[in-house]
Amino acid sequence: MRVIIADNYEAMSKKAAEIVAKTVMEKPDCVLGLATGSTPIGLYKELIRMHKQQGLDFSKVRTFNLDEYYGLPPEHPQSYYYFMYENLFKHINIPLQNVNVPSGLVKDVKAYCLHYEEMIKQAGGIDIQVLGIGGDGHIGFNEPGSSLGSRTRLKTLTEQTVKDNSRFFERIEDVPRFAITMGVGTIMEARKCLLLANGTKKANVVAQAIEGPVTAQVTASVLQLHPDCVAIVDQEAAAELKRKEYYTYVERMSQQFDKV
Ligand code: F6R
């Protein structure tokens, strides 16, 4: 895993945007895997800036989001569709028919999840998957204990995730208890993964994911097995990494190569 330690949230977001933009420029009809939550907001802001100021073109890009709360309609202010629309899609030139966020309203969940997987396959697979990490080590909503080979399905959220995400809702009782999420196996099929983390609260789980054993108890740790995963973390989130100096040294040394 390539580990980039950025000075702060802004630098983390800029570096992530540089990597995503490179994919979009090299392959204008690329497939982006996207995440919601607080972490990627800076990345999306930077992509919007690049679109507005530098003409970064999303007209042929297709996107698949990792997850959606089960039970929330797309127009619900806390739904992930709404989040994506407000924080990215409405500000760039992506046709809305090119964007895919799992539906939180489907009745036949199993059939729908198979369909979501099929749509990703039909699109040619995900070129780059943006990921945040939950306080319990989840990627997508793959909570501890999720099979490392899991596919898109309905998951029950842990108490910790419900608590972590209650900051977006008026009352904790309003936080949905279920979500449809891409599986760990689905995520691992992306050609490239981009894991982002910032803030002191993530320091311990980031160290577990990057340097701990690969375990279904911290689903982000499976990214150690991914052939092309870049983790970009800010100084605070990097605080508990044992090999921090080495990662910084590697990045400095690699500047002599053409590496974004
Ligand atoms: C969101 C998602 C989650 C978040 C994670 C971190 O689509 O899949 O795994 O990335 O819960 O959330 P934040 O960024 O709010 O700390």
pLDDT tens digits, one per residue of 96-118:
999 999 999 999 999 999 999 99
For 28, residues 6+ apart whose C-beta sits below 8 A from its C-beta are: 57, 59, 60, 61
What pLDDT score was predicted for residue 259?
62
Q: Is 7 a known active-site residue?
A: no
Binned at pLDDT 50, 70 and 90, residue 258 comes out as: low
Q: Which two tokens stand for residue 159?
A: 């108490």
Among 68, 117, 127, 143, the one annotated catalytic = 143
Mean residue pLDDT across the chain? 97
| pLDDT at 260 exceeding the cut of 80 | no
How many A from CA of 32 to the centre of ligand 1? 16
Ligand 1 pocket test target in 66, 78, 83, 159 with most atoms within 8 Å of CB? 66
Tell me: the pLDDT tens digits for 55-88?
Answer: 999 999 999 999 999 999 999 999 999 999 999 9
Total domains in the chain come to 1
Q: HSE-up of 228 (CA within 13 Å, CB side)?
A: 10
Q: Which residue's alpha carbon is nearest to atom 8 within ligand 1?
A: 140
Instruction: Give the CATH number, domain containing residue 79.
Output: 3.40.50.1360
Pull the structure tokens for residue 51: 């679109």
Between the CA of 255 and the centroid of ligand 1 the distance, in Å, is 30
Catalytic residue of the set 46, 127, 138, 226: 138
- Give the domain extent around 92: 2-259
Nearest CA to ligand 1 atom 9: 140
127 belongs to the catalytic site = no
